[in-house]
């Protein structure tokens, strides 16, 4: 059974926010990904993206909008829903990742093209 994952494409000052996953994570340890998390039972995807960004980044995202979805298979079968938001409230904090990185769109797409796994993992 596929697990629903929500992910945020956050752009600021011409850069995209990504995170390096901790080595202790069961799915894709050490990978650089867009901030993401699982949808909990009984939760809508929109509720999940708001909750996950508060947990992972300490920000309240405003008006999340779905921009793309796709199936992805790694250590688990996933259906990933990518969102963008109009704005956010708060200061970005690293609450869960090994590190947060702001990279250029060209670097972001270069990493995706080089990826052996595809989609948001590079």
pLDDT band for position 25 (cuts 50, 70, 90): confident
The pTM of the full predicted model, rounded to 2 decimals, is 0.84
Q: For 75-93, what is each residue's pLDDT tens digit?
A: 778 899 999 998 999 999 9
pLDDT at 120 over 70: no
- Count of beta carbons in the 10 Å neighbourhood of residue 38: 15
**Domain extent listing, the chain:** 3-114
65 beta partners: 84
User: H or E element: which one contains 45?
Assistant: helix 45-57
Q: Which CATH superfamily is domain 3-114 in?
A: Nucleoside Triphosphate Pyrophosphohydrolase (3.90.79.10)
The pLDDT, as a whole number, for residue 114 is 55
Q: Is there a contact between 54 and 60 (Cβ–Cβ < 8 Å)?
A: yes
Locus of tokens 């992972």: 56
Q: For 26-40, what is each residue's pLDDT tens digit?
A: 767 778 889 999 999
């Amino acid at each position: 059974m596929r697990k629903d994952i929500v992910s945020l494409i956050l752009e600021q000052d011409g850069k995209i926010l990504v995170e390096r996953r901790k080595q202790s994570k069961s799915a894709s340890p050490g990978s650089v990904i867009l901030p993401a998390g699982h949808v909990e039972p009984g939760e809508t995807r929109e509720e999940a993206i708001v909750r996950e960004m508060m947990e992972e980044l300490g920000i309240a995202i405003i008006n999340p909008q779905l921009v793309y979805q796709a199936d992805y298979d790694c250590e688990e079968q996933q259906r990933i829903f990518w969102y963008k938001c109009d704005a956010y409230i708060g200061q970005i904090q690293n609450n869960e990742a090994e590190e947060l990185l702001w990279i250029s769109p060209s670097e972001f797409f270069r990493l995706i093209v080089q990826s052996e796994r595809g989609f948001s993992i590079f």
